A = this chain, B = another copy of it.
Amino acid sequence: MDEFELIDQIFQRPEGSASQVAIGIGDDGAVINVTAGKQAVVVMDTLVADVHFLESQPADSIGHRALAVNLSDIAAMGAVPRWATLSLTLSEVNEDWLNGFAHGFFELAGRHEVALIGGDTTAGPLAVCVTVGGEVEAEGVLRRAGAQPGDFVYLSGRIGGAAAALSSNEGYADPVLHRALCWPQPRTELGSALGRVANSAVDISDGLLADLNHILNASGGLGAEIEADSLPLFESAVALLGPQAALELALGGGDDYELCFTAPQSRHQEILETGHRLGQDLFRIGQITEHGGCRVRGTAIDLDAISPGYQHTWPSSIS
């Protein structure tokens, strides 16, 4: 099977509800109708085998993850995803693996009404690069900049689960932690709903402290006080690793793909209602301050000892 047949057979699917696609896969490029009055949002993320996923991981979870991490960035911008391009670098053409990968990719794409419009397939060490485009009204864009002293800080879900799954074979075998690692759920509905309520947002890929610091720096060098007791941890992580280690992984682990966002205290009720309307758990975890970087209250952890973000190393020993 050559690369063209492979693309045809596995990745060329009916465009479904994607009425914005004028020309999809099969020409030199894709053509997309744009919505009058909206801005385009573009994100791109590459996943390399044994750096961003385990080559031994089920193929469908790799396809899911490659799209999910990009949809998470779209959500963090307050946009609605519309299209994706996929570049797949394969060391071998394994049809079962490809079908699994495609299943995971398209299942998530379908749920978010994202059309695969193009890309390419290449021989080389296994890696996946995805670009996603979305749309947003200018007033609904969520930047990292925009937080103000006094704002509440929120999380869209529990954190530290992916890192806990990577911390040991027991963690990887735990179904809840495994799901957090391999099947992250991008918060696109929440992101676009927050566009006019929240005043800054980031998605947690590098770890809460590192990503919240992006907000603090982009917003002009603010600080934040996080309440350790308010941090939503995974019960399995606490049971497996103890509360202290679970907390450290929540603060520094990364790969969570939850949204961290800020909003004025006056919008708190609106934030809660938005979460309730979408069936989305939201956790208030602290408050923005004028200075002082990111501090965690109610814990004896040495913050300096926590990894400042994602280190690009997945353990090769996990199976």
Q: Determine whether A73 belongs to the interface, using a CB cutoff of 8 Å to chain B.
A: yes
Scoring A26, A28, A144, A201 by chain B CB atoms within 10 A of each residue's CB, the highest score goes to: A28
Per-position contact with B for A107-143: 1 when CB-CB < 8 Å, else 0? 0000000000111101111010101011010100101
**What is the bound-complex CA distance between A34 and B33, given in angstroms?**
11
Q: A48-B124, A129-B129 are in contact. Are A32 and B39 (CB under 8 A)?
A: yes
Central interface residue in A31, A36, A39, A143, by most chain B CB within 10 Å: A31
Which residues of chain A from 29 to 50 have a CB within 8 Å of any chain B CB? 29-34, 36, 38-46, 48-49
B144 engages A27 (CB within 8 Å):
yes
A68 within 8 A of B: no
The count of chain A contact residues (Cβ–Cβ below 8 Å) is 59
Of the candidate stretches A82-90, A162-170, A238-246, A267-275, the one touching chain B is A82-90
Q: Which residue of B31, B127, B133 is within 8 Å of A136 (Cβ)? A: B31
Q: A42-96: which have CB < 8 Å to B? A: 42-46, 48-49, 51-52, 73-74, 76-77, 79, 83, 85-87, 89
Q: Chain B residues with Cβ under 8 A from A118's Cβ? A: 42-44
A315 to B127, CA, bound (A): 22
Verify if A203 is at the interface (C-beta below 8 Å from B).
yes
- CB pair A27–B143 under 8 Å, yes or no, is yes
A23 at the binding interface (Cβ < 8 Å): yes
Task: Known A38-B34, A79-B29, A125-B125; judge A119-B44 contact (CB<8 A).
Answer: yes
Of B32, B40, B73, B85, which contacts A44 at CB under 8 A?
Answer: B85
A277 in the interface (beta carbon within 8 A) = no
Q: CB-nearest residue of chain B relative to A143?
A: B27
Shortest Cβ distance from A39 into B: residue? B31
CB pair B312–A28 under 8 Å, yes or no, is no
Interface residues of A in 247-285 (CB under 8 A from B): none
Docked pose: A32 CA to B41 CA in angstroms: 6
Q: How far is the CA of A34 from the CA of B22 in the complex (A)?
A: 16
Enumerate chain B residues within 8 angstroms of A133, measured Cβ to Cβ.
40, 42, 133
The yes or no answer to A202 lying at the interface (CB within 8 A) is: yes
* 8 A-B pairs with C-beta separation under 8 A: A22-B39, A27-B77, A29-B43, A42-B85, A44-B87, A48-B122, A123-B312, A125-B127
17 extra interface residue pairs, beta carbon distance < 8 Å, beyond A29-B77, A124-B127 = A22-B138, A28-B43, A29-B41, A29-B74, A31-B41, A32-B41, A34-B34, A36-B36, A42-B83, A42-B131, A44-B86, A44-B119, A44-B129, A46-B87, A48-B124, A51-B124, A123-B312
